[in-house]
Structure 1
Amino acid sequence: MDRLWTDFVNSDYHDWRGGERSEDRLGNVSWQQDFLNRWQLEAPVPASNEEESAMRSFRDDLQALAIRLSNGKLFTEKDEAWLNDFMMAGEVIRQIITQDQQLGVALVPIHRHWAQVMAEVAADFAVTLVEGEGKRIRSCDNPDCRWIFYDDTRSRTQKYCDDKMCGNLMKVRRFRAKRKMHSNEEKTKT
């Protein structure tokens, strides 16, 4: 299941197959627009150099926090204060809305800028933690991937961001390493 915060964190792309290709998508104008559209957020595109720098710093720190939590570390008061600071920048008002002939209350952003987007990302991460699902935060076991994901499996044992891509790749790597080891053992016997 894709979440707002995982989509944002994974804007730092690395070739999951082990190649040298990597891409910081935060600076890509089409990525920025697609991200905003996908999550129904608003901010000026392209982001300014200062906004991009702030987003990179936020993304890297959020990624580091997610990795720490995926490794079983505790969420600290310092982490809480850091997230609260980002969420505070996202001022919202409550507004009654009608959707599918149902009345509801929505939190509507006051500002339309990248600080608001980061506040929404921080809030989505906070909701993940508050709902007791922080233990489902994972970092892909493929060391070349670096993808952060939310494990939505019933067993809570998902190791790879995608079983068909990283999962299969790692299975093939293990098979080849085992076959090479057996081949080397056979050579040493003869």
Structure 2
Amino acid sequence: MNARGNAHTLVQARRRDSLDKRQRVHTALAALEQEGRKITHTAVARTAGVSTWLTYTEGIREHVEAAQQRQRQRVSQPVPARDPNAALRPELELARQEIRGLREERDQMRQALRHQLGQQLDALSTTVLTGRVDELMSNNQRLADQLRQATDENTALNARVASLDQDLAAARTSLRRMIRNENTAR
């Protein structure tokens, strides 16, 4: 697919996303009116799950303002006394839902990060351990060669010592004979 096709696909996806968000705003407006909750740009945005700036854009702002106007007309009629915090409860519930969602997302990200770090540590440990094993095997081979060389040298030196011991014993025996012969000749 060429770049122009990709761009066209991206534009189409963006357009569908924009239409979906606008439809969610209209649905949220209808729900807020139906429930009798106070209509504000923030309340509409939270209910629809979109950003507040979208509720101020042309084509949406008019609908929000019309809903606010209808709500003001209804409010102008006497309403039985209500709990002053009742208007805040939906906002609070929306905030709690948003916090729950953010916590779940945070936990998922933490778990993914732990998994990724574990894999990196495993890879690092394997690499380090493999290097260490290679180093130890090299040292072991070097020491085995040195031991073999030292053993060969030791064997040669022991043979030399044995030969020198024999020569020394022969020289002593010869010296004793010479001394005995010298003493008997006098």
Q: TM-score, normalised by structure 1?
A: 0.28
Q: Rg larger in 1 or in 2? A: 2
Indicate the structure with greater helix content. 2
Q: TM-score, normalised by structure 2?
A: 0.28
